[in-house]
Structure 1
Amino acid sequence: METKAVARNIRISPQKARLVADVVRGMNAGAAVTTLRFMPKKAARIIRKVLESAVANADQLESVDVDNLFIKEITVDGGPMLKRFRPRAQGRATRILKRTSHISITVTEP
């Protein structure tokens, strides 16, 4: 049985979040939570919360053993970008894109 959790419009760039997601992809859910808890990156805290939400969703089903869950799929997609401008030389301006992410995690039993 698969369960899923999704966090949308998170204010972190997808490139930075994918670095953390690649570390825990395919791991046991309990080991992944422990790994994320001690990882010194902003994305680790966010992904840990989504993973704990997916495990809590699985806990609602009677037929699922939470101790045997592992991460089947974890994706970090780009969300909408906030467009800001920064003044530059000679009266010009350049655009700054503040990126957001959609993070989805699917957990399942072996």
Structure 2
Amino acid sequence: MIGYVTVGVSDMDRAKTFYSELLKDMGASVVVDMDRIAFIGKSMAEPMLAVCLPFNEEPNHPGNGNMVAITASSKEHADALYAKAIELGATCDGEPGQRIPDVFYGAYVRDPDGNKLAFFVFG
């Protein structure tokens, strides 16, 4: 259902490196790179994450209440994604942990531009 999600960034090279490194173990890389926007994923036939310099050329602003949630294959995988994001320059916005018993496990970070990410597992 979702083709891609876009997050605004201030530095395209930094954002492409951050997301490519973060998601490479999941098989993702920069699929399309068009100067002010780049699509990161496995293929154009699957959902992707896009990073972009805002079209209006104004500074990017993380949305209050906006978040990109990335499915992890296990709690350990969520922990690893969280640790990798921190290593790549993200900041903690909620350490890994069980949020809803037997239902939802999650970890939260803010990328170098302040965009909120979640790494989660249901069940």
Q: Same fold (TM over 0.5)?
A: no
The structure, 1 or 2, with the larger RCO (C-alpha pairs under 8 Å, 6+ apart) is: 1
Q: With structure 2 as the length reference, what TM-score do the two structures score?
A: 0.30
Q: With structure 1 as the length reference, what TM-score do the two structures score?
A: 0.32
Higher CA-based Rg = 1
Q: Could you say which structure has the higher helix fraction? A: 1
